[in-house]
C-alpha cells in the first residue's frame, strides 16, 4: 500500500492519509515521488509566498479517482500553522501585480454574480486584492490570512478588513457572500475538499467561488518536470484542470470552469523563479531589480489556472 507508509516520513510528526484530500477516494494511491527534504534548508522563508524555489517537497502520491497529486504522509497541522504564523513576508510588490491579474479574472464573471456586496478572500496576504475590489465598487470585503508578517505589511485602511487567522467557515454568516476568492492557497491547506464545501455554505445563491492555483499539467510545469517550482515543501497537493473541476463539482458547484491564465509580473520576479540554485541568481535578480528593463512587467503562461464555480440559485 503506497498510501500508508509512515516509514517514508522525512520530517518528524508526519501523519499518513487514508483518503484523497480532494475527492475523498480511499485509493489505492500510486507513488509519484519520494520526499526530498533537507532539514538544514527549512528556513523561515520556506513558508513565505512568492519566494525563490527551493526544490524540496513531501512524498507525493496520485489519486486514481481525481488525479490530484498530494503529500502522503503530511506534516502535523500544528507544525504547519505555526510555520505560517511565523513566516516572513518580502513580496508586497509582487502581491500587487498578482492582485491586478486576479481582479481581471473577477471582472470577467462579475455580471454573473448576484450583487457586489460580501466578498471573502481566503489567504489574502497584505490585502492588495481587497483594495483592487474596493476600487471596483465591491463592499463588505473581508480577508483571512494566517501569517502575521503580511498582515503587518497591510496598508492601515486595508488592515481593518483582514482577520489574522486560518480560514474557518464557522466564523462567518452562512449565505452572506456574493464572491469568495482563494488565490495560490488551495495547495497549502490540509483539506481543500472541506474548504470548498465550507465556502459553498457561505455563498449566497448564485454566488461564485474563484481560485487560482498551479496546473501541474500546464506546459511550463511539464517542461520543468521535477525541477518546477510547484514541487515545494509548502504544497500539500497539486491540482490539474481535471482534479480542480472535480473538487468543485463534488462540493455542489455548477457551471464549473478551469482554464490556464497568464500571470503578469516584473522581469526581476520571473528571474527569481528560475530553477537555478545559489548566489549567481541572487545577483542577477538584484541587478534586474535596479534596472528599468528588469522592472518592466510582462505576461507569461506560468502554469497557473483559474477555477471557478457557482452555487446554484435553487437549492435541491
Ligand atoms: Zn481524489
* One-letter-per-residue 3-state SS of 22-57: CCCCCCCCEEEECCECCHHHCCHHHHCCCCCCCCCE
Q: Does an H or E element contain 3, and which? A: none
pLDDT at 233: 83
Which residues are placed with Cβ below 5 angstroms of ligand 1, an ion?
20, 22-23, 25, 63, 65-66, 68
* Residue 19 CA, ligand 1 centroid: distance in Å: 8
Mean pLDDT (the chain, rounded) = 86
CA pair distance 16, 119, nearest whole angstrom: 35
The whole-number average pLDDT for the span 85-108 is 82
* Residue 187 CA, ligand 1 centroid: distance in Å: 14
CA pair distance 85, 165, nearest whole angstrom: 9
Angle at 49 between CA 168 and CA 187, to 5 degrees: 55
With bands split at pLDDT 50, 70 and 90, how would you rate the model's confidence at 81?
A: confident
Q: Which of 144, 157, 56, 48 is nearest to 95 (CA)?
A: 48
The whole-number average pLDDT for the span 145-170 is 94
pLDDT at 49: 56
CA pair distance 282, 222, nearest whole angstrom: 25
Q: Higher model confidence: residue 275 or residue 95?
A: 95
Q: Residue 4: is its pLDDT beyond 80?
A: no
* Residue 117 CA, ligand 1 centroid: distance in Å: 34
* Residue 42 CA, ligand 1 centroid: distance in Å: 29
Q: Residue 112: is its pLDDT beyond 90?
A: yes
* Residue 305 CA, ligand 1 centroid: distance in Å: 18
Q: Residue 82: is its pLDDT beyond 80?
A: no
109: helix, strand or coil: helix
Q: Residue 13: is its pLDDT beyond 80?
A: no
Pairs from 159-162 (Cβ < 8 Å, separation ≥ 24): 159/127, 161/127, 161/130, 162/124, 162/127, 162/130
- pTM for the full predicted model: 0.85
Largest CA distance in the chain: 59
With bands split at pLDDT 50, 70 and 90, how would you rate the model's confidence at 160?
A: very high
Q: Residue 228: is its pLDDT beyond 90?
A: no
* Residue 23 CA, ligand 1 centroid: distance in Å: 4
Q: Residue 65: is its pLDDT beyond 90?
A: yes
Contact 252, 270 (CB under 8 A): no
CA pair distance 264, 313, nearest whole angstrom: 34
pLDDT at 47: 60
The whole-number average pLDDT for the span 275-293 is 78
* Residue 70 CA, ligand 1 centroid: distance in Å: 9
pLDDT at 2: 35
Q: Residue 145: is its pLDDT beyond 70?
A: yes
Query: What CATH number does the domain located at 86-310 have?
Result: 3.40.50.150
pLDDT at 7: 39
* Residue 56 CA, ligand 1 centroid: distance in Å: 23
pLDDT at 46: 58
Amino acid at each position: 500500500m503506497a498510501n500508508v507508509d509512515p516509514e517514508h516520513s522525512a520530517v518528524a510528526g508526519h501523519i499518513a492519509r487514508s483518503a484523497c484530500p480532494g475527492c475523498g477516494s480511499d485509493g489505492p494511491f500510486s507513488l509519484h515521488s519520494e520526499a526530498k527534504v533537507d532539514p538544514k534548508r527549512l528556513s523561515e522563508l520556506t513558508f513565505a509566498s512568492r519566494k525563490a524555489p527551493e526544490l524540496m517537497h513531501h512524498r507525493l502520491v496520485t489519486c486514481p479517482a481525481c488525479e490530484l497529486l498530494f503529500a502522503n504522509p503530511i506534516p502535523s497541522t500544528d507544525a504547519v500553522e505555526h510555520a505560517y504564523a511565523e513566516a516572513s513576508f518580502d513580496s508586497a510588490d509582487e502581491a500587487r501585480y498578482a492582485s491586478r491579474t486576479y481582479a481581471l479574472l473577477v471582472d470577467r464573471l462579475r455580471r454573473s454574480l448576484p450583487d457586489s456586496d460580501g466578498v471573502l478572500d481566503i489567504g489574502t496576504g497584505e490585502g492588495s486584492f481587497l483594495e483592487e475590489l474596493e476600487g471596483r465598487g465591491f463592499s463588505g470585503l473581508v480577508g483571512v490570512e494566517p501569517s502575521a508578517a503580511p498582515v503587518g505589511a497591510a496598508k492601515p485602511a486595508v488592515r481593518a478588513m483582514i482577520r489574522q487567522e486560518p480560514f474557518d467557515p464557522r466564523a462567518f454568516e452562512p449565505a452572506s457572500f456574493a464572491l469568495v476568492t482563494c488565490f495560490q492557497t488551495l495547495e497549502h491547506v490540509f483539506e481543500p475538499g472541506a474548504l470548498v464545501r465550507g465556502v459553498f455554505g457561505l455563498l449566497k445563491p448564485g454566488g461564485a467561488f474563484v481560485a487560482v492555483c498551479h496546473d501541474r499539467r500546464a506546459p511550463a510545469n511539464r517542461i520543468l518536470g521535477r525541477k518546477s517550482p510547484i514541487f515545494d515543501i509548502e504544497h500539500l497537493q497539486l491540482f490539474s484542470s481535471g482534479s480542480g473541476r472535480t473538487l468543485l463539482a463534488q462540493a455542489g458547484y455548477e457551471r464549473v470552469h478551469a482554464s490556464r491564465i497568464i500571470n503578469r509580473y516584473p522581469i526581476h520576479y520571473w528571474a527569481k523563479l528560475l530553477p537555478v540554485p545559489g548566489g549567481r541568481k541572487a545577483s542577477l535578480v538584484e541587478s534586474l531589480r535596479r534596472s528599468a528593463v528588469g522592472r518592466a512587467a510582462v505576461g507569461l503562461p506560468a502554469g497557473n489556472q483559474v477555477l471557478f464555480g457557482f452555487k446554484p440559485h435553487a437549492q435541491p
